[in-house]
Amino acid sequence: MDFGLSESQEMLRKIARDFFADKLPKTLVKEVTGTEKGYPADLWKDMAELGWMGLILPEEYGGSEANFADLGILIEEMGRACMPGPFFSTVVLGAPLVLDAGNAAQKKSILPRVARGEIILTVAFAEAQALYDTASYQAEAVKAGDAYVINGTKLFVPDAHVADYIICAAKTGRRATLFLVDARAPGVKSKLLPSLGAERQCEVTFGDVRVSKANILGGLNKAGTYIEKMINQAAAAKCAEMVGGAGQVMEMSVTYAKERVQFGRAIGSQQSIQHHLANMLNDLDECRSVTSRAIWMISEGLPCAREVSVAKCVVNEACRRVAWLGHQIHGAIAFQQDHDMHLYFKQAKVGEVAFGDNGYHGEVIARELGL
Amino acid sequence: MDFRFTDEEEAFRKEVRAFLEKELPSDWPGVDPDMYHEDAFDHIHEVSMETQKKFAAKGWLGLTWPKKYGGQEQPLWKQMILEQEVTYRGAPGVDAYQFIGGLGDLLLQFGTEEQKEKYLPMMVRGEIKCATGMSEPNAGSDLANLQLRADLQGDYFILNGQKTWQSAAHRAQLAPVYVRTDPEAYKHRGISIVLVDYRTPGITISPLVMMSGLEAFCEVFYDNVKIPKENLLGELNGGWKVMMAALSHERSYGIMLIMNIRRDLDNLVKYCRETVVNGEPLSNDTKVRNKLADMASQLEVARNMGFKMNYLALTGGDVTQTANQIKVLGGVMTQRVAALGMQIMGLYGQLGPVGGNWRQMDPNKDKWTKLGGRTKHLYLSTVCNTIAAGTTEVARNAIAGGLGLPREPKPAPKK
Ligand SMILES: Cc1cc2nc3c(=O)[nH]c(=O)nc-3n(C[C@H](O)[C@H](O)[C@H](O)COP(=O)(O)OP(=O)(O)OC[C@H]3O[C@@H](n4cnc5c(N)ncnc54)[C@H](O)[C@@H]3O)c2cc1C
């Protein structure tokens, strides 16, 4: 076994950490959170230039063919920096789906533009009545000649308000099919939901949206398998993001415990604070190692439904605890909005319910146990 | 032993309930005992001030206070029932900074006759709003470290320095402010309390935004502020004694937190009965049922502890230990209910407007918002319930002290 990073991974981590330290101060995170768009456009360009959009894409599409574990490292750094923007929806959700399910023409049309940072993708799957069970979706695509006409409403669609393409899972008979939809096509409407953190989530309504048959992704009635795989990978990547955030909470808390003086001594000399920090470290280390394992398995192409679900269950609970304790150690100062801590508190909660909460992943584990 | 309420108690409870039913809009979503909603939003503030007048007309402000100051000289149990009912209903208008272990009680205990005659009747008539000025950037848990200077010059104290995290300061007129009157004396020996009219020249109040998005606590800066010397509350340099009394009052805040969060649990139960997931109401889900049952049990225990504290207070027992226990319990319970709500609501828990109050709901944006976004607000807002009015850690230290455990060694005095 090897819990360590390779040299190139260490380097990626360092580049990413320095990049965010330089380009994304928390003041900027808070500033863009207040804007409609929700992220800094310059940052997006810079990241594309670093080759991050195409990190795991094949060279023929302008990517650098790194593996999923490398992407995990990058995403952990993004979590640590509390990076807002459509990276996750484009690079973790959309692009792999196109790579996986798309035909040659679709891949050629979409992926190089992703790698160059020219387009933003997202995936619209969850609905009010069914989050992940594609067979129960109500949004429907009805055949009309050479095209399909989509009607329905999708919820919690990340970054749809800035997306160029929305991959929509819509019912075609008893099963669902993936459609590559131009986000600006007539009838597509994205509306921001009043969400919790720096992330952007939308309600997307499809009203008589005509999509050519050529824009079916992965074949008719095939959405189920692809969405399942996407959620599995996204859950693992979300864990990496949350671990990144929790790591930052840990660091901030240790630093503050050393600096903050009350009763003539650093609060970190109080054993109640020391125990909080020790508990946080236990949580963090458990999260990090269980997440690394899950991500490594994806990277190696091994079956890992159970390992990913175990990771998500553990990380969901632990990162929430870490965020609470981070606040507890900081006292009133971090209850102020101008402090950074609450960004992580919110990030942990948003991450927890994204791509499966413990109800969902607990069920996966139970199934895997043969229950 | 007898765990029933008397007929008299029940009758008063009914009276309070009927009053609240009549006076509050039927869809009143409830404000919290921390009063942040009222202090953050103008329109809720207005309702709050109107309701305060109505409580005054009922004679329910200063219910236990002497008649000569406008009070009703009613027994303490009535005040307790009033607080419980008002809190459970989420009614605004009973300003904790005056009436629930607030300035009123301090005045009665430590005020001069002139001070009592000046301020208590104003409070009883529902005319003012108060705050409390303890914390400073470097004096949070360690209050004795406060540095706001008050130098006696002739007939005035001259105040220079800063307070922070002052809830309600931007709405209030009056606050007991904890100041340093003898910089030479060791920490707690040089502290006094002065009654500050926030409209005095030289005071700058700048509201801070909370992580929940509400603007309900403030930094308060003092620049050569002249406070009449007769505004000293208690003895010069004798502020520590007053502060200890104030803090022990503040801890009964725990029971308010518990009463308040019961409303949220009830709403959550309702939500689970009405929300259908995969063709079944959530309330049919065994996991959900168990979690709600567990939370209800915990809250019953917590409330019972609250009643025990009241019983101790009514029978003249020492409430210090129980009050600390309940402060811890209250803070933690609100966080647990908030976390459970978020868990049950899943993705929907993330949604809602700042403050999570239906009065801020935007029909366009909030189409998918459930329970008025209350759970989201609660999740963010309850973070401070284990910090404000004394942290959980410090309360636990006090509980341990109450067990007679040896104290931690103190660092040597600076001087
Ligand atoms: C929402 C809100 C409203 C408030 N309203 C008011 C108000 O109206 N008026 C007012 O005067 N103040 C108010 N406060 C301030 C409040 O009283 C302080 O936040 C509180 O006393 C803690 O101080 P602190 O935040 O500086 O934390 P610190 O004292 O710096 O504590 C930081 C951490 O160290 C721990 N710690 C400190 N000392 C010890 C110890 N001896 N042993 C173990 N652990 C320790 C604490 O428990 C905490 O976890 C408010 C605070 C909040 C959050």
CA of B390 from ligand 1 middle (Å) equals: 6
DSSP for B189-250, please give it. GGEEEEEEETTSTTEEEEEEEBTTS-EEEEEEEEEEEEEEGGGEESSTT-HHHHHHHHHHHH
CB contact under 8 A, A195 and B397: no
Which parts of B77-214 are beta strand (E)?
A: 149-153, 156-167, 174-180, 191-197, 203-209
Domains of chain B: 7-124 (1.10.540.10), 143-239 (2.40.110.10), 252-402 (1.20.140.10)
d(CA A259, CA A36): 37
Residue B133 tokens, joined: 């000025």
CB contact under 8 A, A336 and B209: yes
What is the pLDDT at residue B26?
Answer: 85
Residues with CB under 6 A from ligand 1: A 260, 262-263, 267, 270, 272-273, 328-329, 331-332, 335; B 131-135, 140-141, 165-167, 217, 384, 387-391, 393-394, 397
What is the pLDDT at residue B156?
Answer: 98
B140 close to A (CB below 8 A)? yes
* Nearest CB to B165 within list A201, A332, A359: A332
What is the pLDDT at residue B409?
Answer: 74
CA angle, residues A104, A86, A185, in degrees to nearest 5 = 60
- CA A308 from chain center: how many Å? 14
Can you give the pLDDT of all 415 residues of chain B as single tens digits? 888 889 999 999 999 999 999 999 888 889 999 999 999 999 999 999 999 999 999 999 999 999 999 999 999 899 989 999 999 999 999 999 998 889 999 999 999 999 999 999 999 999 999 999 999 999 999 999 999 999 999 999 999 999 999 999 999 999 999 999 999 998 889 999 999 999 999 999 999 999 999 999 999 999 999 999 999 999 999 999 988 888 777 667 889 999 999 999 999 999 999 999 878 999 999 999 999 999 999 999 999 999 888 888 888 888 889 989 999 999 999 999 999 999 999 999 999 999 998 778 888 899 999 999 999 999 999 999 999 989 999 999 999 999 999 987 776 665 5
d(CA A251, CA A202): 33
DSSP-assigned letter for residue A264:
T
The percentage of chain A sitting over the pLDDT mark of 70, rounded to a whole number, equals 100
* Nearest CB to B350 within list A203, A328, A353: A353
- Paired sense of beta strands A175-182 and A216-217, if any: antiparallel
Reduce the DSSP state of residue B33 to 3 states and report it: coil
Reduce the DSSP state of residue B41 to 3 states and report it: coil
Chain segment B269-299, per-residue pLDDT in tens? 999 999 998 789 999 999 999 999 999 999 9
d(CA B250, CA B18): 28
CA nearest to A272 within chain B: B393
d(CA B12, CA B6): 10
Chain segment A240-285, per-residue pLDDT in tens? 999 999 999 999 999 999 999 999 999 999 999 999 999 999 999 9
CA of B142 from ligand 1 middle (Å) equals: 8
Q: Which of A309, A319, A155 is nearest to A241 (CA)?
A: A319
Say if residue A29's pLDDT is above 90. yes
Report ipTM for this prediction. 0.96
What would the mean pLDDT of A234-241 be, rounded to a whole number? 98
d(CA A283, CA A188): 42
CA of B281 from ligand 1 middle (Å) equals: 42
Closest residue by CA, ligand 1 atom 52: B388
Q: Which of B75, B74, B94 is nearest to B83 (CA)?
A: B94
Q: Looking at chain B from residue 274 to 313, which residues have their Cβ under 8 Å from any Cβ of chain A?
A: 278, 287
DSSP-assigned letter for residue A335:
G
d(CA B260, CA B266): 10
**Residues of chain B contacting residue A334, judged by C-beta atoms under 8 Å apart:** 211
Is the CA virtual torsion B52, B56, B60, B64 positive or negative?
Answer: positive
Maximum CA extent, chain B:
77
CB contact under 8 A, A263 and B213: no
CA nearest to B165 within chain A: A332
- Could you tell me which residues are beta bridge partners of residue B226? B158
**Whole-number Cα distances in Å, A259 to A26, A250, A278, B290, B343:** 20, 14, 17, 43, 35
CA of A260 from ligand 1 middle (Å) equals: 12
Q: Looking at chain B from residue 358 to 377, which residues have their Cβ under 8 Å from any Cβ of chain A?
A: 362, 364-369, 373, 376
CB contact under 8 A, A328 and B392: yes
Q: How many CB atoms sit inside 10 A of residue A370's CB?
A: 5
What would the mean pLDDT of A282-290 be, rounded to a whole number? 97
Q: How far is A71 from chain B (nearest CA, A)?
A: 25
**Whole-number Cα distances in Å, A308 to A231, A237, B202:** 10, 10, 60
Q: Looking at chain B from residue 321 to 350, which residues have their Cβ under 8 Å from any Cβ of chain A?
A: 335, 339, 342-343, 346-347, 349-350
What is the pLDDT at residue B414?
Answer: 55
d(CA B214, CA B355): 6
CA angle, residues A319, A134, A214, in degrees to nearest 5 = 115
Give every CB contact of residue A39 below 8 A, 6+ residues apart in sequence.
A32, A83, A84, A85, A86, A162
Chain segment A313-363, per-residue pLDDT in tens? 999 999 999 999 999 999 999 999 999 999 999 999 999 999 999 999 999
Residue A310 tokens, joined: 């175990």
What is the pLDDT at residue A130?
Answer: 86
Full-prediction pTM beyond 0.90?
Answer: yes
CA of A273 from ligand 1 middle (Å) equals: 13
CB neighbour burial string for B270-294, b if at least 16 within 10 angstroms, e if fewer = ebbeebebeeeebbebeebeebbee
What is the pLDDT at residue B399?
Answer: 94
What is the pLDDT at residue B336?
Answer: 98
